């Protein structure tokens, strides 16, 4: 019979009497199903799958109807209307595919030949708004947890064959799909190779998020500063690609990783490009100033109130000293107390469910703050400073970076207590030294030194589009010019007037 | 091992909240904002220190404490025995010296202010016609900050009025400059008020003479760059002209003949007419050229009389000696001091009335 024939043909050199190895391994789980398509023995097919992984809809509508006929596996392959069908007898491949939601079809229970039909249940949330990096203007689209959809979103924005996707599997247990995206002909091949090399070198059981990969491959994992940007904004990713940046997409993570980046990019919102260049410069510098306010304001308060009373202007003296007159703690303890309280309110606000979190802000911010001042535990000037500082820490459009700012003021407060303004300056100096040494994929992170022309086209400041002509040179892009005008002056399109 | 000890040190610092430097926590110090020095009996000095006391949700009150001693820091040590918190001087705004003390020399009490690094150089200084202690103790200022009041009184007059610019920095500069003598504002307690009454002119650090209010305008124009101020000129036939300076520039020229200098001071004033009252009470247009000429003469006259007053007391607030020294290599301080009273000084005023207001 057909059945016997095939068994004999393919049986060469393998153990044909026992169950195939994979069947034994997989059937230990209760949600694994291995069954005959009919009660009668002469029915042709055995199917096996994980009940929890497949879409029963597709199984019943598109696959099962074909399994009543006596067809060979090849015939079956060509007739079943499912896109991804593989014919194989490689055990590893079979296991892998079944685990990813494939249905295995065998002619005979112990047959080695196997037809794998991908009927995975791929129900993910719909593509929606970017919630963490929202903006008033500009595209609202955000990535979701599925790799293919994410790549699809990027490809829609950059429909060119030069957009290369390199896929890998990372994680001994999680087998997470990781894709590296880059523009061939723009991105520096050295950067690309470094990223791919570092990702393939990862040996770890599980990858749950793109941040795992980002922190595993960053240049200095002891730094407070994230040397890559995690973003859920499609426009940010697409813009980065065209400049020669490399994107890492991880299956199951709505955040894509952009590499290499500079510090200043954490102050750039995609919304900046929706405004006139003058406005966007204002916002960019405002965010930069906000970082200094957030990290320096309360340490300055500690330093001045503890050591440098001479610096207080005569007219401010009464306000500052009067507000502190009844406070029983040293300025340091007072500040630490209030800062920790605010951080707790923020942390609780993030952890709590949305509805409770909203009311918490009011309770924490106003009620506790007011009560603390009334009780005379802190001065109300400090309450203003701390409130302003914590507000300023959230102006950075990159969430990871704003958390860095949130943290960084604490060591500065300690230094301010130990050394006064000297300590504040010391903190600034040490941070600056650290940032100057820091690299992202071997490229300077601070982008302050060496000074590059392109840093003043679209990094520290944003010039009008007609003057942003070069791709950032720190990335060593293979394509130098952004505009087709090359080195020439790019005025308004001339043919319009002709 | 190294790491562990470093970590231990860090922990110790962290847990103790340790300070490496002596602290001056703002509400645990008494910040003196004004000091005053008066001559007391037996060549002792009566020092006064004024500091505010701040209370939560209340207006601050001013504490005035005085003690008698030989030096400024001794006085502070004595006063420290009666204050709640240690006295510090970093917030010093104004230093006053009694006239009697100033006549004997104030250098010892300026030196301590100069030497203390926590005191800035913008501290205002003034000579009190009377007693500095009495001035600070005025009842009116019990709930007001008297030191800041005096500081702002002086500063607004220097900025907008006709008082020449002075402070600790300018005093020290003029004091240490060879061929120049310092000057400071002279203030007085009048009834219930503190008034500026003149400019005290020093010989070295000793108060010698003063110039009255009506000469401020010319004095300021001669010593300050771009001084602005208002002055009323009553001219030959009792025409009254009030001019406000918009821009001023005084140039000192030295001509050396036989080793003896001659000075020509060219004072250029660009002014605006503020008030004009002709003696003949009838409507007439303002004759700019005529009055410019008359005002120039008036200025030259009073400037010359001022210079001769200085020469009589052999004080040199204009720094003529310093200007001479700049030009003449063989400058000899002794010789200059001897020759100063008889040095020839010419004043040439150049007044231009740029704006006459919206009438003409």
**Alpha carbon B4 to its chain's center:** 59
Q: Write the Ramachandran bin of B130: left for phi over 0, alpha for psi from -120 to 50, otherwise beta.
A: left
Q: Before A450, cis peptide (omega within 30)?
A: yes
Under the banding of pLDDT at 50, 70 and 90, the label for residue A19 is: low
| Closest residue, chain B, to A324 (C-alpha) | B27
Mean pLDDT of all residues belonging to chain A: 85
**Which pLDDT value is given to residue A8?**
41
Mean pLDDT of A24-38: 82
Helix axes A331-351, A399-419, angle to 10 degrees: 160
**Co-location of A168 and A243 in the same domain:** yes
Is A340 domain-assigned?
yes
Domain membership of residue A93 as a residue range: 2-118
**Which pLDDT value is given to residue B348?**
92
Q: Which residues contact B305 (CB under 8 A, 6 or more apart)?
A: none
List residues bridging with B184 in a β-sheet.
Answer: B200
**Which pLDDT value is given to residue B51?**
93
Give the model confidence (pLDDT) of B194-228 as tens digits: 999 999 999 988 999 999 988 888 899 899 887 77
Question: How many whole angstroms separate alpha carbon B31 and alpha carbon B85?
Answer: 9
Is residue A289 over pLDDT 90?
Answer: yes
Under the banding of pLDDT at 50, 70 and 90, the label for residue B4 is: confident
Is residue A494 over pLDDT 60?
Answer: no
Q: What are phi and psi of A449, to 5 degrees?
A: -135, 135
What ranges do the domains of chain B cover? 26-212, 225-360
Question: How many whole angstroms separate alpha carbon B123 and alpha carbon A217?
Answer: 58
Mean pLDDT of A460-466: 86
Is A254 domain-assigned?
yes
The answer to whether A387 and A372 are in contact (CB under 8 A) is: no
Question: How many whole angstroms separate alpha carbon B57 and alpha carbon A374?
Answer: 11
Give the model confidence (pLDDT) of B62-94 as tens digits: 899 999 998 888 888 899 898 999 999 999 999
The count of domains in chain A is: 3
Q: Which of A118, A138, A166 is the last residue of a domain?
A: A118
Is A72 domain-assigned?
yes
**Which pLDDT value is given to residue B58?**
79
Q: Before A260, cis peptide (omega within 30)?
A: yes
Å between B27 CA and nearest CA of chain A: 6
Q: Which of the residue ranges A213-217, B138-142, B303-307 would you say has the lowest mean pLDDT? A: B138-142
B21 touches chain A (CB under 8 A): yes
**Which pLDDT value is given to residue B360?**
56
Question: How many whole angstroms separate alpha carbon B15 and alpha carbon B11?
Answer: 6
**Co-location of A287 and A156 in the same domain:** no
Mean pLDDT of A234-255: 93
Is A462 domain-assigned?
no
Is residue B307 over pLDDT 50?
Answer: yes
Cross-chain Cβ contact A419/B21 below 8 Å: yes
Q: Is B299 exposed, middle or buried (0-12, 13-18, 19+ CB in 10 A)?
A: buried
Cross-chain Cβ contact A418/B19 below 8 Å: yes
Is A492 domain-assigned?
no
Question: How many whole angstroms separate alpha carbon A236 and alpha carbon A141?
Answer: 10
Å between A418 CA and nearest CA of chain B: 5
Q: Output DSSP code: residue A263.
A: G
Distances (CA, A) of A9 to A6, A390, B104, B212: 5, 73, 126, 127
Q: Output DSSP code: residue A116.
A: E
Q: Output DSSP code: residue A19.
A: P
The answer to whether A480 and A496 are in contact (CB under 8 A) is: no
Q: Which of the residue ranges A61-75, B120-134, B153-167, B246-260 would you say has the lowest mean pLDDT? A: A61-75
Q: In terms of pLDDT, which residue wins out, B106 or B41?
A: B106
| Closest residue, chain B, to A312 (C-alpha) | B91
The pair of three-digit structure tokens given for residue B298, joined into one six-digit string = 């008036």
**Co-location of A316 and A421 in the same domain:** yes
The answer to whether A296 and A315 are in contact (CB under 8 A) is: no
**Which pLDDT value is given to residue A41?**
67
**Co-location of A335 and A394 in the same domain:** yes
Query: Which of B56, B94, B123, B143 has the most A C-beta neighbours within 10 Å, making it the best mutation to test the interface with A?
Result: B56
Å between B55 CA and nearest CA of chain A: 5
Is A474 domain-assigned?
no
HEC readout, B6-53: HHHHHHHHHHHCCCCCCCCCHHHCEECCEEEEEECCCCCEEEEEEEEE
Spatial strand order of the sheet with A176-183 comes to: A163-170, A176-183, A246-250, A256-259, A229-231
Nearest to A331 among B25, B93, B119 (CB): B25
Tally of CA atoms within 13 A in the half-sphere of B285 that contains its CB = 4
User: Does CATH place domain B225-360 in 3.40.50.150?
Assistant: no
Under the banding of pLDDT at 50, 70 and 90, the label for residue B315 is: very high
Sign of the C-alpha dihedral computed for residues B276, B279, B282 and B285 taken in this order: negative
**Co-location of A230 and A316 in the same domain:** no
HEC readout, chain B: CHHHHHHHHHHHHHHHCCCCCCCCCHHHCEECCEEEEEECCCCCEEEEEEEEECCCCCCCEEEEEEEEECCHHHHHHHHHCCCCCCEECCCCCEEEEEHHHHHHCCHHHHHHHHHCCCCCCCCEEEEECCCHHHHHCCHHHCCCCHHHHHHHHHHHHHHCCCCCCCCHHHHHHHHHCCCCCCEEEEEEEECCEEEEEEEEEEECCEEEEEEEHHHHHHHHHHHCCCCCCEEEEECCCCCEEEEEEEEEEEEEEEEEECCEEEEEEEEEEEEEEEEEECCCCCCCCCCHHHHHHHHHHHHHHHHHHHHHHHHHCCCCCCCHHHHHHHHCCCCCHHHHHHHHHHCEEEEEEEEEEEECCCCC
Which chain B residues contact residue A375 at CB under 8 A? Answer: none
Under the banding of pLDDT at 50, 70 and 90, the label for residue A25 is: confident
Q: Which of the residue ranges A57-66, A89-98, A181-190, B17-26 would you say has the lowest mean pLDDT? A: B17-26
Q: In terms of pLDDT, which residue wins out, A60 or A20?
A: A60
Is A353 domain-assigned?
yes
**Which pLDDT value is given to residue A167?**
92
**Co-location of A86 and A206 in the same domain:** no
**Co-location of A16 and A53 in the same domain:** yes
**Which pLDDT value is given to residue A10?**
42
> Look-up: residue for tokens 């108060």?
B207
Mean pLDDT of A90-118: 84
A326 touches chain B (CB under 8 A): yes
Under the banding of pLDDT at 50, 70 and 90, the label for residue A14 is: very low
Give the model confidence (pLDDT) of A134-164 as tens digits: 888 888 889 998 888 899 999 999 999 999 9
Question: How many whole angstroms separate alpha carbon B224 and alpha carbon B153?
Answer: 19
**Co-location of A257 and A281 in the same domain:** no
**Which pLDDT value is given to residue A6?**
42
**Co-location of A28 and A83 in the same domain:** yes
Distances (CA, A) of B52 to A96, A379, B65: 80, 19, 11
B146 touches chain A (CB under 8 A): no
B20 touches chain A (CB under 8 A): yes
Å between A326 CA and nearest CA of chain B: 6
Rg (Cα) of chain B, in Å, rounded?
A: 25
- How many residues appear in chain A? 498
Helix axes A399-419, A421-437, angle to 10 degrees: 140
**Co-location of A76 and A151 in the same domain:** no
Å between B49 CA and nearest CA of chain A: 16
Q: Which residues contact B247 (CB under 8 A, 6 or more apart)?
A: B226, B268, B269, B270
The pair of three-digit structure tokens given for residue B264, joined into one six-digit string = 């020509």
The answer to whether A146 and A161 are in contact (CB under 8 A) is: no
**Co-location of A294 and A343 in the same domain:** yes
List residues bridging with B269 in a β-sheet.
Answer: B248, B351
Give the model confidence (pLDDT) of B250-305 as tens digits: 999 999 887 788 999 999 999 888 888 877 766 677 788 888 898 899 899 999 99
**Which pLDDT value is given to residue B264?**
93
Percent of chain A with pLDDT over 90: 36
Between CA A308 and CA A318, with CA A313 as vertex, the angle to 5 degrees is 95
Coil/strand/helix, residue A192: helix
Nearest to A333 among B17, B60, B151 (CB): B17
Mean pLDDT of all residues belonging to chain B: 88
Is residue A498 over pLDDT 80?
Answer: no
Q: In terms of pLDDT, which residue wins out, A185 or A491?
A: A185
Cβ–Cβ contacts within 10 Å for residue A180, how many? 21
Question: How many whole angstroms separate alpha carbon A477 and alpha carbon A245?
Answer: 8
> Taking CB atoms and an 8 Å cut-off, how many pairs form between chains A and B?
77
Nearest to A326 among B56, B119, B120 (CB): B56
The answer to whether B253 and B266 are in contact (CB under 8 A) is: yes
> Look-up: residue for tokens 């300056």?
A425
Is residue B18 over pLDDT 70?
Answer: no
**Which pLDDT value is given to residue A20?**
64
A348 touches chain B (CB under 8 A): no
Helix axes A314-324, B146-159, angle to 10 degrees: 150
Q: Which of the residue ranges A83-87, B116-120, B226-230 would you say has the lowest mean pLDDT? A: B226-230
**Which pLDDT value is given to residue A7?**
42
Burial call B152-188: b when 16+ CB within 10 Å, e when fewer: bbbbebbeebbbbebbbebbbebbeeebbbbbbbbbb
Distances (CA, A) of B227 to A41, B57, B165, B249, B358: 115, 41, 9, 8, 24
**Co-location of A307 and A409 in the same domain:** yes
Percent of chain A with pLDDT over 70: 92
Mean pLDDT of A91-115: 84
Is residue A447 over pLDDT 90?
Answer: no
The answer to whether B164 and B227 are in contact (CB under 8 A) is: yes
Q: What are phi and psi of B358, to 5 degrees?
A: -95, 10
The answer to whether B173 and B273 are in contact (CB under 8 A) is: no
The pair of three-digit structure tokens given for residue B68, joined into one six-digit string = 């008698």
Is residue A445 over pLDDT 80?
Answer: yes
Under the banding of pLDDT at 50, 70 and 90, the label for residue A42 is: low
Q: Which of A397, A421, A444 is the last residue of a domain?
A: A444
**Which pLDDT value is given to residue B1?**
59
Cross-chain Cβ contact B26/A419 below 8 Å: no
**Which pLDDT value is given to residue A429?**
95
Is A464 domain-assigned?
no
Is residue A201 over pLDDT 80?
Answer: yes
Spatial strand order of the sheet with A114-118 comes to: A32-36, A46-50, A102-106, A114-118, A85-88
The answer to whether B220 and B255 are in contact (CB under 8 A) is: no
């Amino acid at each position: 019979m057909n059945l016997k024939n095939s068994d004999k043909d393919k049986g060469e050199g393998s153990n044909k009497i026992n169950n195939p190895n994979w069947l034994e391994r997989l059937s230990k789980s209760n949600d694994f199903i291995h069954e005959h398509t009919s009660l009668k023995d002469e029915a042709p097919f055995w199917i096996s799958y994980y009940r929890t992984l497949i879409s029963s809809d597709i199984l019943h509508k598109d696959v099962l109807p074909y399994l009543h006929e006596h067809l060979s596996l090849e015939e079956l392959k060509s007739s079943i209307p499912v896109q991804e069908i593989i014919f194989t007898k490689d055990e590893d491949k079979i296991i892998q595919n079944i685990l990813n939601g494939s249905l295995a079809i065998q002619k005979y229970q112990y047959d080695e030949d196997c037809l794998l039909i991908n009927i995975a249940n791929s129900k993910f949330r719909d593509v929606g708004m970017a919630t963490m990096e929202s903006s008033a203007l500009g595209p609202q689209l955000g990535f979701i947890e599925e790799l293919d959809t994410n790549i699809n979103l990027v490809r829609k924005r950059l429909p060119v064959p030069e957009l290369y996707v390199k896929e890998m599997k990372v994680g001994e247990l999680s087998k997470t799909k990781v894709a590296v995206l880059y523009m061939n002909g723009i991105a520096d091949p050295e950067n690309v190779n470094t990223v791919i090399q570092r990702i393939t070198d990862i040996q770890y059981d599980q990858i749950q998020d793109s941040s795992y990969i980002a922190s595993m491959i960053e240049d200095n994992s002891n730094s407070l500063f994230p040397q890559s940007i995690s973003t859920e904004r499609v426009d940010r990713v697409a813009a980065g690609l065209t400049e020669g940046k490399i994107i890492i997409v991880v299956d199951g993570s709505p955040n894509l990783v952009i590499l290499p980046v500079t510090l200043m990019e954490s102050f750039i919102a995609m919304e900046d490009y929706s405004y006139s260049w003058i406005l966007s410069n204002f916002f960019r510098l405002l965010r930069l100033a906000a970082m200094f306010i957030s990290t320096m304001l309360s340490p300055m308060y500690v330093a001045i109130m503890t050591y440098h009373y001479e610096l207080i202007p005569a007219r401010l003296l009464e306000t500052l000293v009067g507000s502190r007159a009844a406070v029983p703690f040293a300025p340091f303890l007072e500040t630490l107390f209030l800062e920790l309280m605010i951080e707790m309110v923020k942390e609780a606000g993030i952890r709590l469910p949305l509805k409770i979190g909203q009311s918490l802000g009011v309770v924490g911010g106003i009620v506790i703050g007011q009560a603390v001042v009334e009780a005379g535990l802190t001065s109300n000037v400090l309450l203003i400073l701390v409130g302003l500082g914590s507000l300023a820490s959230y102006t950075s459009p990159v969430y990871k970076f704003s958390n860095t700012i949130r943290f960084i003021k604490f060591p500065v407060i300690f230094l301010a207590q130990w050394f006064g303004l000297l300590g504040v300056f010391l903190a600034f100096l040490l941070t600056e030294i650290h940032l100057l040494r820091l690299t992202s994929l071997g490229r300077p992170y601070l982008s302050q030194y060496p000074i590059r022309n392109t840093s003043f086209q679209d990094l520290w400041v944003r010039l009008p589009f007609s003057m942003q002509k070069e791709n950032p040179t720190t990335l060593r892009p293979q394509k130098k010019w952004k505009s087709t005008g090359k080195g020439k002056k790019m005025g308004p399109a001339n043919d319009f007037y002709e | 091992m190294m790491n562990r000890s470093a970590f231990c040190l860090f922990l110790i610092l962290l847990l103790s909240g340790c300070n490496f430097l002596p602290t001056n926590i703002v509400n645990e110090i008494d910040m003196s904002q004004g000091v005053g020095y008066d001559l007391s009996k037996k060549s002792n000095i009566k020092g006064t220190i004024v500091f505010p006391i701040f209370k939560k949700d209340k207006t601050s009150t001013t504490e005035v404490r005085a003690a008698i001693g030989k030096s400024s820091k001794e006085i502070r040590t004595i006063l420290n025995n009666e204050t709640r918190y240690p006295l510090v001087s970093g917030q010093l705004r104004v230093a006053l010296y009694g006239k009697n003390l100033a006549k004997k020399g104030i250098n010892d009490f300026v030196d301590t202010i100069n030497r203390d690094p926590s005191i800035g150089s913008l501290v205002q200084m003034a000579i009190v016609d009377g007693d500095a202690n009495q001035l600070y103790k005025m009842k009116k200022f019990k709930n007001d900050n008297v030191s800041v009041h005096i500081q702002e009184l002086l500063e607004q007059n220097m900025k907008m009025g006709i008082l020449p610019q002075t402070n600790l920095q300018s005093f020290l500069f003029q004091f240490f400059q060879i061929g120049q003598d310092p000057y400071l504002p002279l203030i007085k307690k009048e009834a219930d008020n503190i008034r500026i009454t003149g400019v005290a002119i020093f010989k070295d650090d000793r108060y010698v003479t003063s110039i009255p209010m009506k000469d401020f305008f010319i004095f300021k124009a001669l010593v300050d760059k771009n001084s602005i101020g208002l002055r009323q000129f009553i001219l030959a036939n009792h025409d009254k002209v009030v001019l406000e300076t918009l821009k001023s520039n005084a140039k000192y020229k030295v001509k050396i003949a036989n080793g003896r200098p001659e000075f020509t001071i060219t004072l250029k004033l660009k002014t605006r007419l503020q008030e004009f009252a002709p003696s003949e009470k009838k409507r007439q247009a303002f004759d700019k050229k005529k009055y410019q000429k008359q005002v120039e003469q008036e200025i030259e006259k009073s400037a010359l009389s001022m210079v001769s007053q200085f020469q009589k007391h052999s004080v040199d607030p204009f720094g003529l000696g310093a200007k001479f020294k700049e030009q003449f290599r063989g400058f000899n301080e002794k010789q200059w001091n001897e020759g100063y009273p008889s040095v020839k000084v010419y004043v040439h005023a150049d007044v231009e009335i740029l704006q006459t207001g919206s009438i003409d």
